[in-house]
A and B are shown apart, each in its own frame.
Chain A
């Protein structure tokens, strides 16, 4: 059965940043230089072709974009300036919007104004709500203790509730990703394979080892630094919020980690902001609005987070509380908007894609394995 070409899809993808994919004439230089290109994932040419032709279902079921880390070699080698690297990036944005069943992601990626409005509304709601709640349950001039403006025990409950909602949303999206790439494709994966390959998920989440296979190690180290700092901070907040907030003395057993994570975050965010502003690397040459929103929001959260900590230790509880409120006005929209619907979600999709790719590959090579087993039995 012939697949229907959709000549309009390429225009749709242009809104996600793939503005030059039509220039590609399939010389294959990109796939020749790509360190990750190997059957059946011929990066990036294969999906670029499917995109040019508008083969929507093929693209939905593609894991290829997640296996690319945008080292930029393909873009540098492209004789047509078709921006294969940026095309892969745009496809990741588009896939994110496809995995998201609510349609919110699609809205955000296609309209930065919508994303910014949503962030502003959530931020204001958070600010007003927490201020009202904090004022009735405590005193804005008190930072910790029983009269604290925003008590860590309450925030802790608030954090975990939000984490539950986000996990649910992400889980649904991840299930849809599985459905597009494996379920709907009719790829029969035995249960054993799901279990056998499960180790890939934590390993690739933590190490991002595939990224290291790109030609230069620098971008991998920076990205890993950012991610590990972020995760460290996340663990500290989710499990040690009380110890983190108590003061004014410094509790080195938790704060040492906090400082290390802060330094990591400031350094890597600074590096990325500088890179995007100055376009220092191929990877930073094109910045979609969603890239800026993600980075700036993260920067705001980190700066206010550090500020409330410093102000508290400096004996300025009122100032610390204001900084804390502003910090939360950044954190909540960042989590509510970015995690399930925007750039942040790639933290989940990347390791999942590596896992699903292994399932696909295993399923496709089963006959060979069965043959070997049969030979062994004989």
Chain B
């Protein structure tokens, strides 16, 4: 098997060259059997670098290429493109990582150069066994399934439907609007939540391309990106009706539920009649009357932040919206009841983002009494004695003054945090996405890919992924819609040629791989008693390849021969 391999050593400016002797590496590579040409260059990823590779492929008739440079995560796509441009199958490339795995982690020139030589030799040995592979394509169904009819679901549905593609909007409850429908005004501009929702609800209801399925739950989701089949059930018991929907993508925006305040016993929620949650206050505000259980007007209102949030016992995270909501309450209560004193007990005032600091300022301008407490020393609420002139007394160690104080209160508002919904685990299982320790759905990358998940075609938006406010939720919903519209616009899906394959002849149908696959990419055909890999879903992690007791699974582009050759090269 005589190959014509080209080896290209990148100096990466001085990133590699300052530690690795690139000229020595070039000479070493040039002398290797099968290597036709070896070159060292300042920036191999630059246009002249890529053109040099392409020119060599043509001039020397190269049939394999090794680039000794950075991590393939950085530039594999770049160099595959260079091969494609020169008329060579892009999979005939192998990269040796002599930057992250060598020059950046070593200081001594000689051993580092030896290591770079070993890595390059391993790549040369491996690339000899590379085979040309062709990416597959699949149909992209332009219909989207949206789970959850809150502000995120409504926004995403309109975004996609307005672009001309059909949407199924599935909502478990009997009405749309989600948690936002329970809110009166919104911080920091005091816009009415009802107005925010109304326009969207009206447009969704009248949209030809949106089918709203109320009282409906997802039962099953099969298939892969572009080609999902969803089973949904409307209603319960005897009247339940199931349907199968063909969809190309799914957006999960199932939202959050509020923390159960009765779990914190010293706040007395459920025992003291005038301790209410933020959502109960929203109800009062929407009714237009803030009052005590007895119907009397409260003279002193206390708002307690971080109920269930930022606590080692309950949730360690910050729920992000409660600080601004508390400031909103202070202003709404002061506007409705000017004679009422409002105290605001907080740990830290998180006033980030547009308009928030100004809103905080407005909160103090209406004479809210801000009292700071330590998160390890929470306030305690008790019923007052008849002579106290108030309904309750809140005792707290106030950190700004260092005093232990008692605050009179007739109404206490607990700013309950957000937590993952009780059915989040069920949803995660159905659509095959993961949850973090707190139950929130995990994004593909927290910064660079915040709405995608590790399952292609499944997107997440809004507060099912983490606590967030309305602008962030809407932005995510629109981002998810944009991602889906991009895929639809492309028409056909390109599926990476690198995936695992099951050899029917060898598979015993033991199903070990079925449960192991982290992407649920392996299906079992009960009739034939064989497993097979859905190539579009497979991420080529190799878990099944290693686990298969019959050695029936082969990883394309990571064959045993390739890996053994690489190891042999490394050990030489």
Binding site for B on A (CB under 8 A): 1-5, 7-8, 10-11, 22-26, 46, 49-50, 52-53, 55, 58, 80
Q: Verify if B403 is at the interface (C-beta below 8 Å from A).
A: yes
Contact B369 A5 (CB under 8 A): yes
Interface string of B392-408 (1 = CB under 8 A from A): 00010010110111111
Q: Verify if B432 is at the interface (C-beta below 8 Å from A).
A: no
Contact B406 A80 (CB under 8 A): no
In the complex, chain A residues whose CB is within 8 Å of the CB of B300: 7
In the complex, chain B residues whose CB is within 8 Å of the CB of A10: 367, 369
Q: Verify if B370 is at the interface (C-beta below 8 Å from A).
A: yes
Contact A7 B341 (CB under 8 A): yes
Contact A23 B406 (CB under 8 A): no
Binding site for A on B (CB under 8 A): 300, 341, 343, 349, 360-361, 364-365, 367-371, 395, 398, 400-401, 403-408
Q: Once bound together, how far apart are the Cα atoms of A10 and B300, in whole Å?
A: 14
In the complex, chain A residues whose CB is within 8 Å of the CB of B360: 25
In the complex, chain B residues whose CB is within 8 Å of the CB of A22: 364-365, 367-369
Q: Once bound together, how far apart are the Cα atoms of A354 and B361, in whole Å?
A: 36
Query: Could you write out 23 A-B pairs with CB less than 8 Å apart?
Result: A1-B404, A2-B404, A3-B403, A4-B408, A5-B407, A5-B408, A7-B343, A7-B369, A11-B367, A22-B365, A22-B367, A22-B368, A23-B364, A23-B365, A25-B364, A50-B401, A52-B369, A53-B369, A53-B371, A53-B403, A53-B405, A55-B401, A55-B403
Q: Nearest chain-A residue to B368 (Cβ)?
A: A22
Q: Once bound together, how far apart are the Cα atoms of A272 and B424, in whole Å?
A: 70
**A-B pairs with lowest CB-CB distance, top 8:** A7-B341, A2-B406, A22-B367, A49-B401, A2-B404, A4-B406, A5-B407, A26-B400
Q: Quote the shortest CB–CB distance from B463 to chain A (angstroms).
A: 29
Contact B370 A25 (CB under 8 A): yes
Q: Once bound together, how far apart are the Cα atoms of A25 and B401, in whole Å?
A: 12
Q: Once bound together, how far apart are the Cα atoms of A80 and B360, in whole Å?
A: 11
* Also in contact, A4 and B364, with CB within 8 A (given A49-B400, A53-B371): no
In the complex, chain A residues whose CB is within 8 Å of the CB of B367: 10-11, 22
Q: Once bound together, how far apart are the Cα atoms of A5 and B370, in whole Å?
A: 12
Q: Quote the shortest CB–CB distance from B167 to chain A (angstroms).
A: 46
In the complex, chain A residues whose CB is within 8 Å of the CB of B341: 7-8
Contact B404 A3 (CB under 8 A): yes
Contact A53 B401 (CB under 8 A): yes
Q: Once bound together, how far apart are the Cα atoms of A49 and B398, in whole Å?
A: 10
Q: Once bound together, how far apart are the Cα atoms of A240 and B143, in whole Å?
A: 105
Q: Once bound together, how far apart are the Cα atoms of A26 and B349, in whole Å?
A: 12
Q: Quote the shortest CB–CB distance from A53 to chain B (angstroms).
A: 6
Contact A53 B364 (CB under 8 A): no
Q: Quote the shortest CB–CB distance from B393 to chain A (angstroms).
A: 8
In the complex, chain B residues whose CB is within 8 Å of the CB of A25: 349, 360, 364, 370
Contact A2 B401 (CB under 8 A): no
Q: Quote the shortest CB–CB distance from A25 to chain B (angstroms).
A: 6
In the complex, chain B residues whose CB is within 8 Å of the CB of A8: 341
In the complex, chain B residues whose CB is within 8 Å of the CB of A11: 367
Q: Once bound together, how far apart are the Cα atoms of A23 and B368, in whole Å?
A: 9
Contact A23 B361 (CB under 8 A): yes
Q: A22-B364, A49-B401 are in contact. List 5 more A-B contacts (CB 8 A).
A: A1-B404, A5-B407, A22-B365, A53-B401, A55-B403
Q: Once bound together, how far apart are the Cα atoms of A3 and B369, in whole Å?
A: 15
In the complex, chain B residues whose CB is within 8 Å of the CB of A53: 369, 371, 398, 401, 403, 405
In the complex, chain A residues whose CB is within 8 Å of the CB of B406: 2-5
Q: Once bound together, how far apart are the Cα atoms of A98 and B341, in whole Å?
A: 24
In the complex, chain B residues whose CB is within 8 Å of the CB of A49: 400-401
Q: Quote the shortest CB–CB distance from B377 to chain A (angstroms).
A: 13
* Also in contact, A80 and B404, with CB within 8 A (given A7-B341, A10-B367): no
Q: Nearest chain-A residue to B301 (Cβ)?
A: A7
Q: Which of A1, A2, A58 has the most CB of B within 10 A?
A: A2
In the complex, chain B residues whose CB is within 8 Å of the CB of A26: 400
In the complex, chain A residues whose CB is within 8 Å of the CB of B361: 23, 80
Q: Quote the shortest CB–CB distance from B366 to chain A (angstroms).
A: 8
Q: Nearest chain-B residue to A28 (Cβ)?
A: B400
Q: Nearest chain-B residue to A8 (Cβ)?
A: B341
Q: Quote the shortest CB–CB distance from A99 to chain B (angstroms).
A: 24
Q: Once bound together, how far apart are the Cα atoms of A2 and B397, in whole Å?
A: 9
Q: Nearest chain-A residue to B388 (Cβ)?
A: A4
Contact A5 B343 (CB under 8 A): yes
Contact A2 B365 (CB under 8 A): no
Partner of B405, one of A5, A23, A46: A5
Contact B405 A2 (CB under 8 A): yes
Q: Once bound together, how far apart are the Cα atoms of A49 and B403, in whole Å?
A: 10
In the complex, chain A residues whose CB is within 8 Å of the CB of B370: 25, 52
Q: Nearest chain-A residue to B406 (Cβ)?
A: A2
Q: Quote the shortest CB–CB distance from B394 to chain A (angstroms).
A: 9
Q: Once bound together, how far apart are the Cα atoms of A10 and B369, in whole Å?
A: 10
In the complex, chain B residues whose CB is within 8 Å of the CB of A24: 364
Contact B364 A3 (CB under 8 A): no
Q: Once bound together, how far apart are the Cα atoms of A25 and B349, in whole Å?
A: 10
Q: Quote the shortest CB–CB distance from B239 to chain A (angstroms).
A: 55
Q: Nearest chain-A residue to B372 (Cβ)?
A: A26
Q: Quote the shortest CB–CB distance from A24 to chain B (angstroms).
A: 8
Q: Quote the shortest CB–CB distance from A30 to chain B (angstroms).
A: 13
In the complex, chain A residues whose CB is within 8 Å of the CB of B408: 4-5, 7
Q: Once bound together, how far apart are the Cα atoms of A52 and B367, in whole Å?
A: 9
Q: Quote the shortest CB–CB distance from B347 to chain A (angstroms).
A: 14
In the complex, chain B residues whose CB is within 8 Å of the CB of A23: 361, 364-365
Q: Once bound together, how far apart are the Cα atoms of A5 and B300, in whole Å?
A: 11
Q: Once bound together, how far apart are the Cα atoms of A101 and B371, in whole Å?
A: 33
